[in-house]
């Protein structure tokens, strides 16, 4: 083939290696944003960084001007889980959804935001059609 196709990083709710039995397969998501933060150097809270990353991607519901993380996850518990895993040098990954976006927070202070495949803005079509 003369042209190269663009590869999109995808995942499902339970990760890309999970097999699903039954008539419906889990929704697939495409990575749309990521951030790695150094909380010690920036003196910022994890929750603040998550909200900042989300606000660049997620459009608030009609009439809303802010995004409240409390509607989707307990921010105090999120900080406790990530903080405890960092102090114990264990790897943890917390996943939750905001609107239709899948948000992944890792204990290495990485924030990944995925949107459902087929929801790519501007095209209205799925970039990876079902086979």
What's the helix, strand, coil split of the chain in %, to 5?
25, 25, 55
DSSP-based three-state secondary structure for 16: coil
Query: Which helix (DSSP H) or strand (DSSP E) does residue 96 occupy?
Result: strand 93-98
What are the residue ranges spanned by the domains of the chain? Answer: 26-116
This prediction's pTM: 0.68
Encoding tokens for residue 105? Answer: 């927070």
DSSP state of 70: G
Q: What pLDDT does 122 receive?
A: 45
Taking 80 as the threshold, does the pLDDT of residue 10 lie above it? Answer: no
Contact yes or no for 115/12 (Cβ under 8 A): no
DSSP-based three-state secondary structure for 60: coil
Rounded mean pLDDT of 46-75? 81
**pLDDT tens-place string over residues 64-103:** 667 788 889 998 898 888 888 877 778 889 999 998 899 9
Q: What pLDDT does 5 receive?
A: 45
Name the residue with tokens 């990521």.
34
């Amino acid at each position: 083939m003369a042209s190269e196709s663009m590869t999109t990083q995808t995942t499902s709710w339970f990760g890309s290696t999970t097999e699903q039995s039954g008539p419906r397969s889990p929704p697939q998501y495409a990575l749309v944003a990521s951030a790695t933060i150094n909380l010690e150097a920036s003196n910022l809270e994890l929750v603040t960084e998550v909200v900042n990353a989300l606000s660049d991607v997620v459009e608030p519901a009609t009439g809303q001007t802010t995004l409240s993380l409390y509607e989707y996850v307990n921010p105090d518990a999120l900080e406790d889980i990530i903080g405890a895993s960092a102090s114990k040098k264990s790897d943890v990954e917390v996943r939750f959804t905001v609107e239709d976006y899948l948000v992944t927070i890792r204990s290495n202070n990485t924030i990944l935001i995925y949107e459902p495949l087929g929801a790519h803005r501007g095209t209205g079509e799925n970039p990876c059609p079902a086979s």
